[in-house]
Amino acid sequence: MHTPLCRHAAGEPVEYAAHAVKLGLTEIGFSDHSPMAVDDFDEWRMRDRQLDEYVEKVRSAQREFPQLTIKLGLEVDFIPGHEEWIRSLAARHPWDYFIGSVHYVSEGWDLDNPTKLAEWRKRDPFKVWSVYFERLAMAASSGLFDIIGHADLAKKFCFYPKEDCSGIIGAFLHTCADHDVAIEINTAGLRKDCREMYPSQAILNAAGELRVPLTFGSDAHAPGEVGMNFEEAVESARRAGYEEYQTFTGRVRTPRPLHRDTVEPLAKFAKEG
Ligand SMILES: [Zn+2]
Ligand SMILES: [Zn+2]
C-alpha cells in the first residue's frame, strides 16, 4: 500500500490502518514507491530525503493501532544496473519486505504509465512482454526482493501478444520457485482497463503447481482500497491449489494456512456495507 509521498496516492497510513481495522483485517503492510538514486527520475515516487519521513508515517500508524500488525516495506523498481542502489536502500531501515516490480522495460518507458500509452502503439506487444518477463526473472534471481509485484502488469492496457507467452512466463515462475521468491495476488488490476487481478488465473495456476510462495495485496492508493476484492483473491488462490500464504517480518517469510475464515471479516463487512 502507498502514501501521499509517492505523489499519486491519497490518505495517510493512519487512515489506511483505520480502514483495515474496520474491515477486521489483522495485518497490513506499506510498500510505497521507493526513491531512485536520482530524485525526480519520474513523477510517481518519493524523493530520497523523504525516506525517513515515510518510515515515520508508518511508525505512527503502528503506534496508533497497536491491535493491528503493520509491516514496513518498499516497492522497489528493478532496473538492470540499479542493484547497488537497491542494496543501499535495504541497509537504511529494518524493512519487513521488499517488493520488486518492473515498470520500466526500456529507458524512459514505464509501460503502466497512462500518459505514455502512445508508446504501446509503436511497439510489438510480444517483444514488450518478452523483455518485461525477462526483467521479472532477473529481479527474482537477484536476491534483492522477497516478493515480485503485480507479475503480469504488462496486460494493464490490454495490449496482449498474439504469440504464446507460456514459455517466457513459465521461465519466470521457475526462477521464483528456485530462488524462494514470492509472487503476490494484487487486486488493483480489477480497477484497471484489464479488469482482472495481477496475475491472471492461468499464471496463478502455473505458480501454484510450482509451489511459488504467495502473498495478498490490494496495492491501495487510497484508504478505501484497503483489502479490496480480497474474497475473490482468496478464491483464486484456492482454485490454483494454494493452501497457505506468506507474511514477512524482517525479510523472513512465515507461511500461514489459507482458511476460509481468512476473509470472513471482509465478507461480513461487504454484506453489512
Ligand atoms: Zn503507485
Ligand atoms: Zn507497481
CA 147 – CA 91 distance, rounded (Å): 18
Ligand nearest to the CA of 220: 1
Q: What was the pLDDT predicted at 259?
A: 78
- Output the CA angle 73-107-222, nearest 5 degrees: 35
Ligand nearest to the CA of 32: 1
Q: How far is the CA of 49 from the centre of ligand 2 (A)?
A: 21
CA 208 – CA 202 distance, rounded (Å): 10
Q: How far is the CA of 231 from the centre of ligand 2 (A)?
A: 22
Q: How far is the CA of 44 from the centre of ligand 1 (A)?
A: 7
pTM of the model: 0.96
Q: How far is the CA of 221 from the centre of ligand 1 (A)?
A: 7
Q: How far is the CA of 258 from the centre of ligand 2 (A)?
A: 25
Q: How far is the CA of 147 from the centre of ligand 1 (A)?
A: 16
Q: How far is the CA of 153 from the centre of ligand 2 (A)?
A: 8
* Cβ(209)–Cβ(245) below 8 Å: no
* Cβ(155)–Cβ(194) below 8 Å: yes
Per-residue pLDDT tens digits for 32-60: 999 999 998 999 999 999 999 999 999 99
Per-residue pLDDT tens digits for 83-120: 999 999 999 999 999 999 999 999 999 999 999 999 99
CA 102 – CA 227 distance, rounded (Å): 23
Regions of the chain short of the pLDDT cut 50? 273
Ligand nearest to the CA of 2: 1
Ligand nearest to the CA of 114: 1
